[in-house]
Chains A and B, each alone.
Chain A
Amino acid sequence: MRDEQLLYCQKPIDEQLSWDTLLRREYRRFCYACSQQMIWINALHCSRCYRPQADSSVCLDCVRWEKSTYWSNKLSRNVSLLSYNNWAQDFVARFKFRRDVVLAKAFEQELKRMYARNFNQHLIVPIPLSEKRMIERGFNQSEVIARCIRTNITDVLIRVIHEEKTSKKLRWQRVAGRSRPFEVTDRKSVMLKNVVLVDDIYTTGATVRKAATVLLEAGATSVSSMTLFRS
């Protein structure tokens, strides 16, 4: 017989049996070392994009976005679970690039809770991958995360332009471009609906804003986004 293992670091769950074990079982998905390194965004952050900071005002990044006539009022707000630190980088590397798909399950409860608290009844739309990236990776990480929240999702976006990985671009390259990589396949389904986009990481917010643009054009009432990590 093998000991039960933690999902991510695959260390055995070797806690002493206590009241805590019975009452808080669901929380034991990360070992002590991991939970020490994870930074949950809960206290102070930008009220608009969840960027961790010292107060809860609107951050400079968001101010800059809203100044632009093209980009303003595209994205209502963003909500994220964790800060994108070294630990998160390793996690994403294993989840996305090593393709350990099941890891998304580690955040299932938190994602569900975050959705219910912020976006109850919103349509869930994952950020799509291009056909080429899909073949390369074999799964869409955003869709996997979205399906953790609810199995019934609205997968109406497609990516028509294959772009360089955003993680390899600089900020000005991400923000300056007004390319339109996304298209809505079924306009009826988003008409007059509140939509929440789901992605793995929010870095500058360019990707979700580009997706929001086409959704608003298709008639969505509002577009927000939620991501696992916020850098």
Chain B
Amino acid sequence: MKCVWVVPKGQLEPVVLPCDLVQQDDDVQSEAAVITHLKPSPPLPTLEGKSLLTSELTDQQIVTRRQLIAGTVQLSIGISLKRSAPTCNRCGNQDKEQFAMFDCYWCGRNECLYCRSCIMMGKVTTCTPLVHIPITEPFPKTRLNWHGLLTDAQKRASNQMVEILQHRTDNELLVWAVCGAGKTEMLFPLIIEAIDQKKTLLIATPRTDVVLELIPRIRQAFPNLRSIALYGGSEERFQSAPLVISTTHQTRRYFQYFDVVIIDEIDAFPYHYDKSLRFAVNKAAKPSAKFYYLSATPPQSLIKKLKTNNQIAMINRRYHGFPLPVPSLKWIGDWRSYVERGKLPPKLKAWMNRQERESDRQLLIFVPSINVSERLESIIARKDIICVHSQHAKRKEIVEAFRHKQYHCLITTTILERGVTFPSVDVFILGAENDVFTIAALVQIAGRAGRSLEDPKGDVLFLHDGTTIAMKQAVKQIKRMNER
């Protein structure tokens, strides 16, 4: 798409317009060129909404000449070059390796760059403009209502969150809550207050499963509030609402839009590592936005940063008041060689039999890799035992079926490590010595057990071939939480 600098009739300031929107009496200031060469100034900080590709615009979002001239919609550069170092202005990618050059028919140059980092969301090239569109939200007219109850600990943390929104000058709060503390419910008063103040909310979480679990709970609690779920393949991907629950990847489509940003599992993969995701969340938030970080195992750097200013809310009891189940470490020898030979490790078999005999709960078995999960499923070959992992086509359905007790046992990789709740399960970790099971991961996995009031207990076994420091630290951390 070629654009041009134009001073529209009766106006003083020049604007960038797509060539096909230029009219006869416009004062054309430049040659028709691709957007990168026109160098429009970055969008005004007051312009709220989404940044989309022209190909993503829906029928309701048709960009008109009037909007562009008035400045309520702006075109900006998709990929900007500073001394030949490219930056993708949608995802923030600056890694040269993640850009590729191609012979582009659109701009007719054979050195048009495109960003490979966010290509799955539509291609951003040097010659594609990003369209910044404002969105007006359908806020509910009356104050929201919620009739649930919070425990004292939850209430204290929840008040702290609301307080920041109301009048404190701080704009960050770490909510450090043990697994199963009832984090979702604690957010409800904050949601009510924010919506009352006509503020937009984003709940960003690293995992699709968590989005899928949160959205029905929130819709049930607030039937009057329009909320949408964004994840790869979600049908609501191009819509917007006052409350958005999104995977961190999908926040890339927003631009300075949210007043309140709640980031779930701040310590979790991939949020912790991926710089571009941090860019995405920061870009999606308004400069004045309040940030809330939720975690059961926050990284030390964050604790240090927020400790001095009393910006940590601590909840060390589960909502039902029972202590966290303490994992026990069991050595099961060289389990991997058994699995590789297509055999069930005898000690694992013994523990599984015992679990089935002595407990009424379902069983979650965490394994270190997709490969092991599939192997194990085919070795056991029982109809009520199934595996699930990130590459699994029916991932959504299987987790749902397990929740409805259609399976006795679910073999999973770390994708179910956090955020998901099953009312009554025992938890095994096969190969707990593996590097993927960090302290945080182990604490989170142990936290899957004993989450409901009806069944506040549950066995957690770390089945290993050699104890690791992470395992010992995880047990220590859980015990310490229980003592407070």
Report chain A residues within 8 Å CB of B114. Answer: 99-101
Contact A139 B97, CB 8 Å, known A98-B120, A100-B116: no
**Distance in Å from the Cβ of B340 to the closest Cβ of chain A?**
15
* A2 with B102, Cβ < 8 A, contacts A10-B116, A98-B120, A99-B119 known: no
Stretch from B103-111, B171-179, B223-231 at the A interface: B103-111
CA distance A137 to B116 in the complex (A): 16
Residue B95 at the chain A interface, CB threshold 8 Å:
yes
A101 and B100 within 8 A (CB): yes
- Let me know if A135 and B116 touch, CB within 8 A: no
Interface residues of B in 111-126 (CB under 8 A from A): 114, 116, 119-120, 123, 125
Question: Shortest Cβ distance from B391 into chain A, in angstroms?
Answer: 9
CB <8 Å contact, B105 and A102:
no
Count A-B pairs with CB separation below 8 Å: 44
Contact B103 A144, beta carbon cutoff 8 Å = yes
| Option from A5, A100, A137, A138 in Cβ contact (under 8 Å) with B97 | A5
Q: Are A99 and B105 in contact (CB under 8 A)?
A: no
Is B102 in contact with A135, judged by CB distance below 8 angstroms?
no
Encode A4-16 as 1/0 by CB contact (under 8 A) with B: 1100001000000
Is A134 an interface position by the 8 A CB rule? yes
A102 touches B97 (CB 8 A): no
* Residues from 92 to 113 in A contacting B, C-beta threshold 8 Å: 94, 98-102
Partner of B95, one of A2, A98, A140, A143: A2
> Which residue of the partner chain, among B104, B105, B119, B125, contacts A98 with CB atoms under 8 Å?
B119
Tell me, rounded to whole Å, the shortest Cβ–Cβ distance linking B100 to chain A: 4
Give the distance in Å from the alpha carbon of A4 to the alpha carbon of B119 in the complex: 19
A108 to chain B, nearest CB (A): 14
Q: Which residue of B lies closest to A10 (CB)?
A: B116
**CB <8 Å contact, A100 and B105:** no
Of chain B, the residue at the smallest CB distance from A140 is B105
Chain A residue with Cβ nearest B371: A33
Q: Which residues of A contact B104 (CB under 8 A)?
A: 138-139
Interface residues of A (CB under 8 A from B): 2, 4-5, 10, 94, 98-102, 134-135, 137-140, 143-144, 147
What are 7 sample pairs from A and B whose C-beta atoms fall under 8 A apart?
Answer: A2-B95, A101-B103, A135-B106, A138-B106, A138-B123, A139-B105, A147-B103
- Which 5 residue pairs across A and B have the least CB separation, nearest first? A102-B100, A101-B102, A99-B123, A138-B106, A138-B105
